[in-house]
Structure 1
Amino acid sequence: MRCVICKSSDIQMKKVEEEIEIGDDIILIPVEVLVCLNCGERYYDRKTMRKIEETRIKLMRHDLKVEEVGKVLRANVA
């Protein structure tokens, strides 16, 4: 397999944190995906995409516990 972005063949399975946005919140979930080690492009299989979508639905229904690990603040500068 070659990366569609940079054409590198240096692609490996890695555990990454995928971001799911629910309202103003960003929730991180661990998933395993193929990652190009040259440019960082990620490749998701059907099973992983299904897991992400099922997790999104559970989060929207409040069926999963989440742990607050920090806050992001925004400064409005003119």
Structure 2
Amino acid sequence: MDKLAKEKMMKQTKPFEKCPVCGGELTEKEVEKLLRGGVNTAILKVKAEVCLHCGERLYSQETVKRFDEIRKKLERKEVANFQPIGQSFQVTA
């Protein structure tokens, strides 16, 4: 694939050139996302476009679909394939 084709492909997969919240510069980073479903939670490491100015995170459509699937599994307690990492606690102020 030549350079022009790669640039065209990147523009198609990257919907925003600048942050839609503040207009800041975006950069791709690996981030942790906390998901809740029912009383269960999961932590995922995913790639996101992150604004260097305000911290806004932009996720791909595929990643958002994955979030929805995982939330549904958490709600249905279908967690057999998930790795336990500890316990969660609710603390009242």
**1:68 match:** 85
Gaps of 5+ in 2: 1-16
| 1:33 matches 2:48 | yes
Retained in 1: the 8 A contact 2:40–2:75?
no
Gaps of 5+ in 1: none
Over the matched positions of the two proteins, sequence identity in percent amounts to 28
**1:45 match:** 60
Opposite residue 45 of structure 1, the aligned amino acid is S
Deviation at 1:70, TM superposition (A): 4.3
Q: Which has the larger radius of gyration?
A: 2
Deviation at 1:16, TM superposition (A): 1.2
Opposite residue 37 of structure 1, the aligned amino acid is L
TM-score (norm 2): 0.64
Q: Which runs of 4+ in 1 moved over 4 A?
A: none
Larger helix share, 1 or 2: 2
Retained in 1: the 8 A contact 2:32–2:46?
yes
TM-score (norm 1): 0.73
Opposite residue 56 of structure 2, the aligned amino acid is E
> What is the RMSD of the two structures over their aligned residues, measured on CA atoms?
2.0
Larger strand share, 1 or 2: 1
